[in-house]
């Protein structure tokens, strides 16, 4: 019976550590602050959209508030269509004539989230024809995987296209590829202006560029250092064609993979952790704004088109642990166990270790329970189990004891 009682106690503790904090924070949800960072070619300064549950605020780097119309006029590249419609779009900025085609071509927006980096898709990928001569890309009838060789699986019949598989496998082998592939990165969507295929990492960490051109394999070893320990590659396929992709390493370095012989152009980032933070890169005809968005703030750096840093800014605000609800939670909950979190696409067991503050409530709970044990003469072997449990799990253990004690078949 004792082992069954211990198992029941542990089950109650684990359940309480998942659902009680979850209900607590749902009842104590705070307003979410959001800040979008831009750089104005008119002001030559940062300008922000600060949002809460009520409305948006438009503020420049000196703290001056603007109307929405003023904000739009300070970011003419971002709001080109609106300003053209209203007849307020300038003809030139800093002596450079503004052309609609150039504005659209140079506006870029790249977003890399932790959940995207950790996500692993089904290892079957469509390989588009990169030189079809058609206006739009067409989805292929087969999908490839790279294990002991490169195989194409025909989707309608679930059979292997041996000839195509052999042709592409030979192309990889001739380029020095070591099977199987460690990772395959691409943009498997027809909703893009053109196709640059995939970047594939082999077993030795070498990076290969793979695509199909007029039905034939294009395979090239990029020369990207194999010791970079790549965490993620985002293939951009932007009509500007400055870079093939954005690359993030396990050490939180960020690079653009250039069209110039796959050269690496390092992106300046500040306090970036790819497992926790969202990376945003906004670009226009003049500037690149690189923003690291955190739960409780942001860091932003602006560069010119030559990648020279011009300015940086940051802001931090108190996290939920600094609120009254957070302080109370630090005392009441010795630890938490969550089955999901924002930075991961997977359901799992995400454990938050106990803090020092929780010791106080755990000691109080233990003293109360000891008084109860002595008053009702609980058997010694049960007292030891209950005491250890409450000492280690605080409120959760006390709840487990209160549930189990009424089913205790030992005499009192």
Q: Does residue 381 carry a pLDDT above 90?
A: no
291/160 same-domain check: no
pLDDT tens digits, residue range 60-119? Answer: 999 999 999 999 999 999 999 999 999 999 999 988 999 989 999 999 999 999 999 988
**Whole-number pLDDT of residue 409:** 47
Let me know whether 308 and 384 are in one domain.
Answer: no
Q: What number of residues does the chain have? A: 412
In a domain, 412, yes or no: no
Q: Does residue 78 share a domain with residue 19?
A: no
Same domain, yes or no: 18 and 97: no
Mean pLDDT of the chain: 89
Per the domain annotation, does 239 fall within a domain? yes
CA angle (241, 244, 247) in 5-degree steps: 140
62 plus 173 within the same structural domain? no
pLDDT tens digit sequence for 347-357:
778 888 877 88
Residue 56 counted as domain residue: yes
Lowest mean pLDDT among 125-129, 157-161, 280-284, 407-411: 407-411
Q: What is the pLDDT of residue 292?
A: 97
Predicted TM-score (pTM) of this structure = 0.83
Tell me, yes or no, whether 237 and 199 share the same domain. Answer: yes
Average pLDDT over residues 225-229: 93
Q: How far is CA 268 from CA 30, 154, 355, 369, 396, in A?
A: 32, 43, 35, 56, 45
Q: What is the pLDDT of residues 61-76, one digit of tens each?
A: 999 999 999 999 999 9
In this model, does residue 1 exceed pLDDT 70?
no
Coil, helix or strand for 107?
Answer: coil
- Residue 2: pLDDT band (50, 70, 90) is low
Q: For 257-307, write each residue's pLDDT tens digit.
A: 999 999 999 999 999 999 999 999 999 999 999 999 998 899 999 999 999
**Residue 312: predicted pLDDT:** 96
Q: Which residues pair with 56 in a beta bridge?
A: 51
pLDDT at residue 163 is higher than 70: yes
Same domain flag for 14 and 69: no
Inside any domain, residue 337: yes
Question: Is 59 inside any structural domain?
Answer: yes
Residue 40 domain-assigned (yes or no): yes
Which pLDDT belongs to residue 203? 96
Q: Do residues 131 and 192 both lie within one domain?
A: yes
Is there a single domain that holds both residue 267 and residue 151?
Answer: yes
Query: Are residue 181 and residue 201 in the same domain, yes or no?
Result: yes
The pLDDT value given to residue 411: 42
Residue that is last in its domain, among 317, 338, 372: 317
Residue 296: the pLDDT is 87
Domain count along the chain:
3
Predicted confidence (pLDDT) at residue 33 exceeds the cutoff of 60: yes
Q: Which of 211, 62, 78 is nearest to 150 (CA)?
A: 211
Same domain, 267 and 190: yes
Per-residue exposure over 194-230, b if at least 16 CB sit within 10 Å of its own CB, e if not: ebbbbbbbbeebbbbbbbbeeeebbbeebebeeebeb
Q: Is residue 322 part of a domain?
A: no
Q: What is the pLDDT of residue 350?
A: 81
Is residue 130 in some structural domain? yes
Range of the domain at 259: 110-281
Model pLDDT, residue 324: 82
The residues, any chain, with a CB within 8 Å of residue 166's CB and separated by 6 or more, are none
> In the predicted model, is pLDDT for residue 238 greater than 50?
yes
Residue 53 pLDDT: 66
* Res. 408 pLDDT band, cuts 50 70 90: low
Most confident of 50-54, 204-208, 378-382: 204-208
Looking at the fold, whether 313 and 249 belong to one and the same domain comes out as: no
> What 3-state class would DSSP assign to 336?
strand
Distance CA 147, CA 204 (A): 14
Look at residue 412 in the predicted model and tell me its pLDDT: 42
Q: Is the pLDDT score of 8 beyond 90?
A: no
The arithmetic mean of pLDDT across residues 31-53, rounded, is 88
Give one DSSP letter per residue of 357-383, joined into a string: THHHHHHHHHHHHHHHHHHHT--HHHH
pLDDT(340) > 90: no
Structure-model confidence comparison of residues 344 and 364, the more confident one: 364
């Amino acid at each position: 019976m004792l082992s069954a009682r211990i198992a029941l106690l542990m089950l109650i503790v684990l359940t309480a550590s998942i659902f009680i904090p979850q209900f607590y924070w749902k009842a104590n949800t705070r307003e979410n602050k959001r800040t979008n960072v831009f750089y104005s070619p008119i002001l030559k300064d940062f300008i922000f959209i600060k949002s809460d549950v009520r409305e948006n605020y438009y503020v420049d780097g000196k703290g001056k508030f603007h109307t929405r119309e003023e904000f739009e006029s300070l970011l003419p590249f971002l709001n080109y269509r609106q300003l053209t419609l209203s007849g307020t779009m300038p003809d030139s900025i800093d002596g450079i004539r503004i052309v609609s085609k150039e504005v659209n071509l140079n506006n870029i927006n790249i977003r890399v989230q932790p959940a995207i980096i950790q996500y692993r898709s089904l290892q079957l990928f469509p390989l588009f024809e990169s030189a079809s001569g058609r206006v739009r890309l067409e989805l292929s009838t087969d999908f490839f995987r790279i294990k002991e060789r490169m195989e194409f699986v025909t989707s309608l019949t679930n059979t292997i296209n041996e000839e195509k598989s052999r042709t592409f496998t030979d192309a990889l082998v001739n380029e020095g590829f070591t099977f199987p592939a460690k990772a395959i990165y691409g943009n498997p969507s027809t909703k893009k202006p053109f196709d640059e295929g995939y970047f594939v990492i082999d077993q030795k960490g070498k990076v290969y560029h793979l695509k199909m051109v007029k039905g034939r394999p294009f395979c090239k070893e990029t020369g990207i250092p194999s010791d970079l320990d790549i965490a993620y590659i985002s293939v951009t396929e932007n009509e500007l064609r400055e870079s093939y992709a954005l690359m993030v390493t396990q050490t939180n370095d960020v690079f653009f993979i250039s069209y110039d012989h796959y050269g690496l152009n390092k992106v300046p980032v500040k306090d970036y952790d790819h497992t926790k933070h969202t990376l945003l890169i906004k670009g226009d005809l003049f500037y690149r704004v690189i923003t690291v968005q955190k739960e409780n703030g942001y860091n932003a750096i602006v560069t010119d088109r030559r990648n020279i840093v011009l300015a940086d800014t940051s802001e931090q605000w108190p996290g939920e642990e600094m609120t009254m609800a957070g302080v109370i939670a630090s005392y009441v909950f010795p630890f938490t166990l969550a089955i999901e979190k924002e930075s991961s696409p997977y359901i799992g067991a995400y454990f938050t270790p106990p803090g020092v503050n929780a010791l106080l409530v755990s000691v109080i709970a233990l003293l109360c329970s000891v008084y109860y044990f002595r008053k009702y003469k609980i058997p010694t072997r049960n007292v030891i189990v209950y005491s250890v449990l409450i000492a280690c799990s605080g409120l959760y253990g006390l709840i487990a004891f209160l549930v189990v004690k009424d089913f205790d078949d030992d005499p009192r």
